[in-house]
Amino acid sequence: MRWTATTRSSPPVSVQRDATCGSVCGGAPPHDGGYLRGMGAHRVAIGQEALATRLARHAEEGSLAHALLLTGVPGRGGLALTLALAKQLHCQQSNAASCGTCPSCLQHDQLQHPDLHFTFPVAKPAGKDKALSSDQFDVWREILTEKGPHVDMHDLRERMALGNKQPYISVHEAQDIQRRLSLTAHAGGWKVQVIYGAQFMRVDTANKLLKLLEEPPKKTLFVLLADNTEALLATILSRTQIISVPPIPAEAVRRQLEAEGGAEEAIADAVSLCDGDLAEARRLMQTDAAAEFDMFVEWMRTCYAQDGRKAAALADRFHDLGREPQKQFLAYALHMVRQCIVGNYGAKAAVRLRAAEAGFARKFAAFIHHGNVVDMQSILERAAREVAGNVYGRTVFLDLSMRMMELLRRPK
């Protein structure tokens, strides 16, 4: 047996080690549309070399806990780290690193290893009585093969064409996991069960998994991935070893975006705005930054001028955008307001704005102060909740504009 059994008294993974492990590569992989093809999946834990090395070392020593919870937004690379770890566990040649050439490693590169299982949030398809990720596995495999493992729920929602449906992890998934893990591993080694977006587990789903997380079958590794620990039950947290995945260093994001191609200025903006989240950085590269900014400026000028007629016309335009772009715009407006207040309170170095936005923000910031900023944030957040809750877009934006008119004129 290449691996010693895992124990519940495993040492914490936070043991510091040098990032010298040969299983980790710091170089940016080519982005040729076949992200995982022909390369070790471990090579794509961009900017997370130190953590990848620590996990690899614990796997090699057999000191991994049997249930890990990797926290941090998906764009930081929790899934990339997980794939690397699973590949190493399944490799037939080496237990210190995946060889990249054995049949197991090749199956991993295609996301087709029979003992690597994925559960992720899905919506119930029309005409079906269960929401199961196994029904959507082709979509999952397709998006990971194409975009690599730094995909987040925005990407998945779009690919699964969810529209306004909210994805979740149903109790039927928990039953599926129980059934799968009760069977013998195909290759006779480790079974790895990945739960991506674990914060989307329903309470009954989580409760059903508790026993399995407490006492999993032999040679089973659970890896739960969640944005944060807040939405998870304490009983789940207590059964997992929590590992925080840090933001990807700016320099590593920059190298990756440069390898994928793009204008220098757009890359610089994306790097400074993405907060170490590669999925967000890629989205920033794609969004029409100018259109978003122009719309914000026009809206703010309209509100400041207290032009009710124009505000009504703008509300119609916002309405026609649809729900996801509305949410995105409100998030952007919130971001702009926050950056102004950060700048006003002397933390100029902490301001995260694109070059074109900074000029406007310098003037606009004069209208944002301690007397209105809290209310401004709260009406934007409320509007975002209303949009998410399916309130009629025109009503939300008209109401928001009327309140904004009052707030912008409020004295300091």
Minimum CB distance to Zn ion, residue 219 (Å) = 17
Which is nearer to Zn ion, 93 or 175 (by Cβ)? 93
DSSP for 262-293, please give it.
--HHHHHHHHHHSTT-HHHHHHHHHS-HHHHH
Residue 223's DSSP bridge partners are: 68, 194
H and E: helices and strands count for the chain: 17, 5
Is 207 one of the binding residues for Zn ion (CB under 5 A)?
no
Kindly state whether residue 64 participates in binding Zn ion, applying the rule CB under 5 A: no
Taking CB under 5 A as the binding criterion, the range among 90-98, 243-251, 323-331, 341-349 that sits at the site for Zn ion is 90-98
Confirm if 64 and 219 have CB atoms less than 8 A apart: no
85 near Zn ion (CB under 5 A) = no
Within residues 310-329, the interface with Zn ion by CB under 5 A covers none
DSSP state of 34: -
Q: CA-CA distance, 108 to 145, in Å (whole number)?
A: 11
Q: Is 107 in the site for Zn ion (CB under 5 A)?
A: no
Pick 102 or 162: Cβ nearer Zn ion: 102
Contacting residue, 36, 65, 83, 91, with Zn ion by CB under 5 A: 91
Answer whether 292's CB lies under 8 Å from 329's CB.
Answer: yes
Q: Which of 67, 105, 209, 257: binder of Zn ion (CB under 5 A)?
A: 105
Report the C-alpha gap between 203 and 297 in whole angstroms.
Answer: 43
**# binding residues, Zn ion (CB under 5 A):** 6
- What's CA 203's distance to the chain center, in Å? 21
Query: In this chain, which of 99, 139, 268, 312 binds Zn ion, going by CB under 5 A?
Result: 99
C-alpha span between 384 and 193 (Å, rounded)? 34
Q: Which residue has the tokens 């260093």?
A: 249
Strand duo 67-71 + 116-119: pairing: unpaired
> CA–CA separation, 11 vs 298, rounded Å?
56
User: For residue 264, with 0-12 CB atoms within 10 Å meaning exposed, 13-18 middle and 19 or more buried, which class applies?
Assistant: exposed
Least Cβ distance, residue 65 to Zn ion (angstroms): 23
Whole-angstrom CA distances from 232 to 206, 210, 225, 357 are: 8, 12, 11, 37
Work out whether 387 is an interface residue with Zn ion (CB under 5 A): no
Of the two residues 96 and 99, which places its CB atom closer to Zn ion in the complex? 99
SS3 220: strand
Which of 87/239 has CB closer to Zn ion? 87
Site stretch for Zn ion (CB under 5 A), options 50-58, 83-91, 137-145, 156-164: 83-91
- What DSSP state is assigned to residue 160? T
> Which range, of 23-31, 99-107, 239-247, 366-374, touches Zn ion by CB under 5 A?
99-107
Give the nearer residue to Zn ion in terms of CB position, either 73 or 86.
86
Residue 80 C-beta: closest distance to Zn ion, Å? 17
Q: How far is the C-alpha of 216 from the C-alpha of 210, rounded, in Å?
A: 10
Residue closer to Zn ion, measured from CB, 72 or 100: 100
Minimum CB separation of residue 32 from Zn ion in Å reads: 22
Residue range at the interface with Zn ion (CB under 5 A); choices 12-20, 93-101, 282-290, 349-357 = 93-101
Helix (H, G, I), strand (E, B) or coil at 169: strand
Pairwise CA distance, residues 18 & 347, whole Å? 34
* 241 vs 8: CA distance, rounded Å: 10
Task: Identify which of residues 87 and 354 has a Cβ nearer to Zn ion in the complex.
Answer: 87
Sheet with 191-196: strands ordered across: 116-119, 191-196, 220-226, 67-71, 241-244
3-state secondary structure of 213: helix
Q: Where does this chain touch Zn ion (CB under 5 A) — which range of 101-109, 239-247, 304-312, 381-389?
A: 101-109
User: Stretches 84-92, 127-135, 166-174, 188-196: which one binds Zn ion (CB under 5 A)?
Assistant: 84-92
**Unique residue bearing structure tokens 């407490």:** 214
The answer to the question of residue 334 lying near Zn ion (CB under 5 A) is no
| 39 binds Zn ion, rule: CB under 5 A | no
89 binds Zn ion (CB under 5 A): no
User: Judged by CB, which is closer to Zn ion: 162, or 185?
Assistant: 185
Stretch that binds Zn ion, among 94-102, 319-327, 354-362, 397-405 (CB under 5 A): 94-102
Of 99 and 373, nearer to Zn ion (C-beta) is 99
Q: Which of the ranges 96-104, 194-202, 215-223, 360-368 carries the binding residues for Zn ion, by CB under 5 A?
A: 96-104
Least Cβ distance, residue 92 to Zn ion (angstroms): 6
Among 19, 39, 63, 93, contact with Zn ion (rule: CB under 5 A): 93
102 interacts with Zn ion by CB under 5 A: yes
**Contact residues: Zn ion, CB under 5 A:** 91, 93, 98-99, 102, 105
